Amino acid sequence: DGGITQSPKYLFRKEGQNVTLSCEQNLNHDAMYWYRQDPGQGLRLIYYSQIVNDFQKGDIAEGYSVSREKKESFPLTVTSAQKNPTAFYLCASIGFLNTEAFFGQGTRLTVV
C-alpha cells in the first residue's frame, strides 16, 4: 500500500540533545513538508522541499534542520537550539500538480 510513514510514534529527548524524526513516502511525490502542531495553534510549517536536494524554511524553522537526499525521505532534526521542542510533528507529501496533502501519523516529541 502506498503511503507516508513517520517514525517513531513517540520520542523522548533530554535537554541539549539532537533528535531526528523520520519521514518516508512511497507515493512518488515530489513535495514534502514538516509541520509542528501545538494545542490550540493548529499546524505551523517548519520546512518544505519541492524537489530532491532542495528545501526551504517555513514559518518556524529556527532550531530545526532537514535534508532531502532522496525523493522518498525527508528527515527532520530537532536540534538543541530549539528551546521548546515538545510538540506533535506531522510530515506530509503532495504529488506533482496536485494539492491534496497526504499525512503521516505523526511523532509526539517530549523533552524530559
Per CB under 8 A, residues contacting another protein are: 6, 31, 33, 35, 40-45, 48, 50, 58-59, 88, 90, 92, 94, 99-106, 108
Report the residue number, 19 or 32, with the smaller CB distance to another protein. Answer: 32
The three cell numbers locating residue 61 = 524553522
Strands 42-51 and 31-38 turn out to be: antiparallel
Q: How far is the CB of 105 from another protein (least distance, A)?
A: 5
How far the first Cα of the chain sits from its last, in Å, is: 35
Q: How far is the CB of 43 from another protein (least distance, A)?
A: 4
Report the residue number, 58 or 75, with the smaller CB distance to another protein. Answer: 58
Q: How far is the CB of 77 from another protein (least distance, A)?
A: 20
- Count CB neighbours of 36 within 10 A: 24
Cα(6)–Cα(8) distance, integer angstroms: 6
